[in-house]
Amino acid sequence: MKFAIQINQSPYTHQSPDTAYQFTLAALKSGHEIYRIFFYHDGVLNGSGFTTPPQDERNVVARWSELAEEYGIDLVICIAAAQRRGIMDADEAERHGHAASNLAAGFRLSGLGQLIEAGIEADRLLVFGG
Amino acid sequence: MPPQKKKFLFVNRKAPYGTIHAHEALEAILTGAAFEQRISILFLDDGVFPLLKEQNSGDIGLKDFSPTYNALSLYGVENIYVDEESLIERGIASDELSIKVELKTTKEVCLIMEQQDVIFNF
């Protein structure tokens, strides 16, 4: 089955990004396809490459980057939601005059159309985090 | 890729201003409508509050996005549903809402949800 995933909550405060990750991994290992993971609302913070948890804790952001690299998953951050919350790639940071960019490896910024398209293309769209 | 139209339902469940959910849900709805799918919207629980007329959020420094609801019909949104029970629980009369909506019983809301291909919950 072809799944699309939407994640609406930030890591660490909420468990939903962890649950979404576990689901994604289980689905991939069972031979399903993950069409796209779309991060919206505070879920865009899953793409902050500056995330630096204590060493004995899971790194939610790095885990997504590794998943993208290993399985070629399309990780898309809503650009409008990301701008509100300070997540930017190098181009966006330069355009807005910020000193640094922080979009983590394996993620890309794009519009809400990517979420709608995922809903159209996938067999099931699952939403994690209210 | 063959063109296909899916039934999308956007469910609004939160009051405006306290969280950004209602505002960002509206942005997603307008995008969905631009993709020419069969779009319905449901306002449920505290999600009925964003529909109230004459909001004045200037004093709390937040943007009143409610006028954008008027544009939904222009964008080709097919159905705008409100859960009647949610209005009653909150003491809101349907003439206090800023746009024309279809009132639905909770049982009808369940049927509407069953008929969708995709449900976005905000």
Cβ–Cβ gap A119/B4 under 8 Å: no
Each domain of chain B, given as residue ranges in start order, spans: 7-121
Residue A67 pLDDT exceeds 80? yes
Assigned CATH topology for domain A2-128: Hypothetical Protein Ychn; Chain: A, (3.40.1260)
Q: Determine whether the interchain pair A112/B28 forms a contact, defined as Cβ–Cβ distance below 8 Å.
A: yes
Q: How distant, in Å, are the alpha carbons of A18, A61, A74, B85, B102 from that of A43?
A: 11, 11, 15, 31, 32
Query: What is the CATH code for B7-121?
Result: 3.40.1260.10
Residue carrying the six token digits 């003491």: B91
Low-confidence ranges of chain B (pLDDT < 50): none
pLDDT recorded at residue B73: 87
Domain coordinates in residue numbering, chain A = 2-128
pLDDT at A130: 75
Going by C-beta distance under 8 Å and a sequence separation of 6 or more, which residues neighbour residue B65? B16, B22, B23, B26, B50
Please give the pLDDT value at position B118: 96
Listing DSSP states for chain B in one string gives ------EEEEEE-S-TTTSSHHHHHHHHHHHHHHTT-EEEEEE-GGGGGGGBSS---GGGT----GGGGGGTTTTT--EEEEEHHHHHHTT--GGGBSS--EEE-HHHHHHHHHT-SEEEE-
Q: Mind listing the pLDDT tens digit for each residue in B43-64?
A: 999 999 999 999 999 889 999 9
As a whole number of angstroms, the distance between CA B6 and CA A13 comes to 34
Which residues on neighbouring strands pair with residue A108, listed in sequence order? A76
Q: List residues of chain B with CB under 8 Å from any CB of chain A.
A: 1, 4, 6, 8, 13, 20-21, 24, 27-28, 31-32, 34-35, 37, 117-122
How would you classify residue A3: left for phi > 0, otherwise alpha for psi between -120 and 50, otherwise beta? beta
Query: How many angstroms away from the CA of A100 is the closest CA of chain B?
Result: 26
- Check CB contact under 8 Å for B6 and A119: yes
Selected for mutation to probe chain A from B120, B121, B122 (highest A CB count within 10 Å) is B120
Contact A117, A8 (CB under 8 A): no
Shortest distance between the Cα of B39 and any Cα of chain A, in A, equals 11
| pLDDT tens for each residue of A83-121 | 999 999 999 999 999 999 999 999 999 999 999 999 999
Measured distance CA(B36)–CA(A111) in Å, rounded: 16
Q: Are B41 and B9 in contact (CB under 8 A)?
A: yes
- What was the pLDDT predicted at B3? 63
User: For position B4, what pLDDT does the model report?
Assistant: 73
In this prediction, residue B1 carries a pLDDT of 54
Instruction: Tokens 């969708």: give the residue.
Output: B116
**A17-63 tens-digit pLDDT:** 999 999 999 999 999 999 999 999 999 999 999 999 999 999 999 99
Catalytic residue IDs of A: 78
